[in-house]
Amino acid sequence: MMKDATLKAVATTQVYIGHWANTRVEKMKARRDRGQGAIEYVGITILVVAIVVAVMNTKMGESIANKFKEKINQVLNGGA
């Protein structure tokens, strides 16, 4: 009688652990990064740098830089 109870407990535990492990693996797979890869991030960075360089080489870039300098000076000089 004891052997049957032990066997049943072991089988139940094995099924439970197997189900738990499969569930964990599925959740881990679901959490993988589905977004951009490293190459795409580099491409985005290069694009942003190209835009900033293009803007800084125009009159608009100069105007933006001057406004930033004015605001920074205002902050550093106590809002004067």
pTM over 0.85? The answer is no
CA 68 to chain centre: 30
Q: Considering only residues 15 and 34, tell me which one the structure prediction assigns the higher pLDDT.
A: 15
- E strand intervals along 1-80: none
pLDDT band per the 50, 70, 90 thresholds, residue 3? low
Q: How many CB atoms lie within 10 A of CB 55?
A: 14
Integer CA distances (angstroms), 3 to 7, 11, 12, 21, in order: 6, 12, 14, 27
Q: What stretch of H or E contains 37?
A: none
Alpha-carbon 64 to chain mean position? 30
Highest mean pLDDT among 34-38, 65-69, 70-74: 70-74
